[in-house]
């Protein structure tokens, strides 16, 4: 049986689009599922659109996603003489001709020219058909197919020509790509026919859309893989989610949403790819990312969370234990930890809480009690809890009557990771005592006016 060989053939024109990452993922999964090879090819023949550093971005993104290639990378611009050789072969066969017209359509007819750009010759008669695994048989009238340029005036091949030459000589068996290339495929099929070669199997995937009428846009910050990494999304969560954008697992896995890369290999079947555009659901991605964050070992979470936390002499273990179940994406962390360097500014009305039965007046009592509890005995969460519990029982109040004002005094916020006791441990004894004293002074000053 013929070895399955897929390829990912991006152009180095900037950052990696999510759609491009998905194409690479599907091609990689298909190859691995079928025991085949995944080839990387850089299609850089359009030098005007080439962006410095973009090739490295492609390599780094694929490696980060775990989509390691088995062959390549092959660089098209280094193979220009090969393309010219095969274009000249088509000229000899009468399947292409020289032309000195720069536009999309030839006006000179290529009569008696022996140099210039080279165009594909398309007879206006007949039809060209090909089968796509997703869209079925597609037929186009030859009269509707333009006589495309194969070799440009600078000697470089066009995308459509180099694409066919490379796919053939790299023995690509399955071409998996976006459906924006459906309209180019008849031209490719005609080239295969002109050379007498067998075309690969085509699998065209519908686009990823922001909504029913808008594509993902760099203006909206949702087009590139790096956009989401910068916002604190995990690579494995992004890969998991985009695998499901336009593809659905079957059978017992039909309702499943969480897949590791290895599990995707086992589950992947090109028959599950949809014809319909996939609508990007940021909330779904966030939910999947939250699952990965909350499932990771605490040490791993702490390692990944630290860059998002202000540098200070705090107990990162306690802080991150409190943060992990409150974090969906790592960019959630800075707003939750902005109190670490100093308590956020607040009005004393924040102490008013009907549920806790607190007010600025009761907060003053609670914070004075907190000073005494923190100043006595061992400073640990258990010791502090015991002290507040005992004080609450003696005063016949609930412990929250003390801990809610304590949290506000320490953070300046009504909601914080871990609550009053954890915040004490996170900040340490000296900093906690300093902030409680400042909070008491704040209440007294405000009440005196």
For 278, the enclosing helix (H) or strand (E) is strand 278-279
Q: What is the DSSP letter of 198?
A: P
pLDDT of 50 > 90? The answer is no
pLDDT of 181 > 90? The answer is yes
pLDDT band, very low/low/confident/very high, at 299 (cuts 50, 70, 90): very high
| pLDDT of res. 441 | 95
pLDDT band, very low/low/confident/very high, at 288 (cuts 50, 70, 90): very high
C-alpha span between 311 and 317 (Å, rounded): 14
Percentage helix, strand, coil for the chain under 3-state DSSP, each rounded to 5: 50, 15, 35
Mean pLDDT of 149-171: 94
Q: Give the CA distances from residue 366 to residues 358, 401, 405, 414, in Å, rounded to whole numbers and listed in that order.
A: 9, 7, 7, 16
Mean pLDDT of 254-263: 95
3-state secondary structure of 204: strand
**Structure confidence by residue, pLDDT tens digits, 384-442:** 999 999 999 999 999 999 999 999 999 999 999 988 999 999 999 999 999 999 999 99
C-alpha span between 44 and 52 (Å, rounded): 11
The rounded mean pLDDT for the chain is: 93
pLDDT of 87 > 60? The answer is yes
Q: Which two tokens stand for residue 261?
A: 């890369």
Q: Which two tokens stand for residue 96?
A: 């292409």
**Structure confidence by residue, pLDDT tens digits, 69-84:** 999 999 998 988 899 9
pLDDT of 304 > 60? The answer is yes
Q: Which two tokens stand for residue 338?
A: 């902005």
Nearest to 208 by CA among 256, 278, 152: 278
Nearest to 432 by CA among 388, 396, 390, 397: 388
pLDDT of 221 > 80? The answer is no
For 255-260, the CB contacts below 8 A with 24+ separation are 257/288, 258/288, 258/291, 260/236
| pLDDT of res. 418 | 86
The answer to which of 34-38, 111-115, 132-136, 224-228 has the lowest mean pLDDT is 111-115
DSSP bridge partners of 438:
none
- List, in sequence order, the alpha helices (H) in 18-53: 18-33
3-state secondary structure of 42: strand
Q: Which two tokens stand for residue 229?
A: 């990494």
**Which domains does the chain show, CATH number per domain?**
1-75+158-295 (3.40.50.620), 298-449 (1.10.10.350)
Identify the active-site residue in 93, 127, 218, 357. 218
First-to-last alpha carbon distance for the chain, in angstroms, is 88
Q: Give the CA distances from residue 105 to residues 128, 139, 145, in Å, rounded to whole numbers and listed in that order.
A: 20, 22, 11
The answer to which of 49-58, 220-229, 300-309, 394-403 has the lowest mean pLDDT is 220-229
| pLDDT of res. 213 | 80
Buried b (16+ CB within 10 A) or exposed e, 146-169: ebbbbbbeeebbbbbbbbbbbbbe
| pLDDT of res. 224 | 92
Angle 101-107-110 (CA atoms, 0-180°, nearest 5)?
Answer: 75
| Radius of gyration (C-alpha) of the chain in whole angstroms | 32
Nearest to 157 by CA among 113, 119, 205: 119
pLDDT of 5 > 90? The answer is yes
**Structure confidence by residue, pLDDT tens digits, 320-339:** 999 999 999 999 999 999 99
In this structure, are residues 57 and 21 in contact, taking their beta carbons and an 8 Å threshold?
no
3-state secondary structure of 258: coil
Q: How many CB atoms lie within 10 A of CB 229?
A: 15
C-alpha span between 248 and 276 (Å, rounded): 12
In this structure, are residues 105 and 122 in contact, taking their beta carbons and an 8 Å threshold?
no
The answer to which of 206-215, 234-243, 336-345, 379-388 has the lowest mean pLDDT is 206-215
| pLDDT of res. 107 | 61
Nearest to 236 by CA among 67, 68, 70: 67
pLDDT of 220 > 70? The answer is no
pLDDT band, very low/low/confident/very high, at 112 (cuts 50, 70, 90): low
Q: For the chain, what percent of residues have pLDDT higher than 70?
A: 96
C-alpha span between 144 and 184 (Å, rounded): 12
Mean pLDDT of 277-297: 96
Mean pLDDT of 257-277: 96
Helices (H) and strands (E) in the chain, counts: 17, 12
C-alpha span between 328 and 226 (Å, rounded): 18
pLDDT of 110 > 60? The answer is no
> Is 218 a residue of the active site?
yes
The answer to which of 20-29, 122-131, 211-220, 344-353 has the lowest mean pLDDT is 211-220
Q: Which two tokens stand for residue 340?
A: 């670490």
pLDDT band, very low/low/confident/very high, at 298 (cuts 50, 70, 90): very high
Q: Say which residue the tokens 């039909």 belong to.
A: 254
């Amino acid at each position: 049986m013929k070895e399955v060989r897929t390829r990912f053939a991006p152009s180095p024109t900037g950052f990696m689009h999510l759609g491009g990452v998905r194409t690479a993922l599907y091609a990689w999964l298909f190859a691995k599922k079928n025991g085949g090879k995944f080839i990387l090819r850089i299609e850089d023949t359009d030098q005007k659109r080439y962006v410095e550093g973009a090739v490295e971005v492609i390599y780094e993104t694929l490696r980060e996603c775990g989509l390691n290639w088995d062959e390549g990378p092959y660089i098209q611009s280094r193979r220009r003489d090969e393309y010219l050789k095969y274009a000249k072969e088509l000229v000899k066969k009468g399947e292409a001709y020289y032309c000195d017209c720069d536009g999309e359509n030839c006006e000179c007819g290529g009569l008696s020219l022996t140099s210039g750009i080279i165009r594909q010759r398309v007879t206006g008669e007949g039809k060209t058909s090909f089968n796509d695994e997703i869209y079925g048989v597609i037929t186009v009238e030859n009269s509707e197919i333009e006589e495309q340029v194969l070799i440009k005036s600078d000697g470089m091949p066009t995308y459509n020509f180099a694409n066919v030459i490379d796919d053939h000589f790299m023995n690509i068996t399955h071409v998996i790509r976006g459906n924006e290339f459906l309209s180019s495929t008849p031209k490719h099929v005609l080239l295969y026919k002109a050379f007498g070669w067998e075309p690969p199997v085509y699998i065209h995937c519908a686009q990823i859309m922001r909504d029913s009428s808008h594509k993902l846009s760099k203006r909206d910050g949702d087009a590139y893989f790096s956009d989401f990494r910068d916002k604190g999304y995990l690579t494995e969560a992004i890969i998991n989610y985009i695998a499901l954008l336009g593809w659905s697992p079957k059978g017992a896995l039909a309702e499943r949403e969480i897949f590791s890369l290895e599990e995707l290999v086992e589950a992947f079947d090109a028959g599950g790819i949809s014809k319909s555009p996939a609508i990007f659901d940021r909330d779904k991605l966030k939910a999947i990312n939250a699952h990965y964050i909350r499932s990771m070992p605490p040490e791993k979470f702490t390692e990944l969370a630290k860059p998002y936390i202000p540098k200070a002499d705090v107990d990162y273990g306690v802080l991150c234990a409190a943060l992990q179940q409150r974090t969906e994406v790592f960019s959630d962390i800075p707003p939750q930890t902005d109190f670490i360097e100093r308590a956020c500014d607040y009005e004393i009305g924040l102490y008013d809480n009907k549920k806790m039965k607190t007010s600025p007046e009761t907060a003053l009592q609670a914070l004075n009690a907190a000073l005494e509890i923190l100043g006595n005995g061992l400073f640990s969460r258990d010791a502090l809890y015991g002290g507040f519990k005992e004080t609450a029982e003696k005063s016949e109040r609930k412990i929250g009557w003390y801990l809610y004002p304590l949290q506000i005094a320490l953070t300046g916020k009504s909601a914080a990771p871990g609550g009053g006791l954890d915040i004490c441990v996170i900040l340490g004894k000296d900093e906690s005592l300093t902030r409680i004293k400042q909070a008491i002074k704040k209440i007294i000053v405000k009440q005196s006016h």
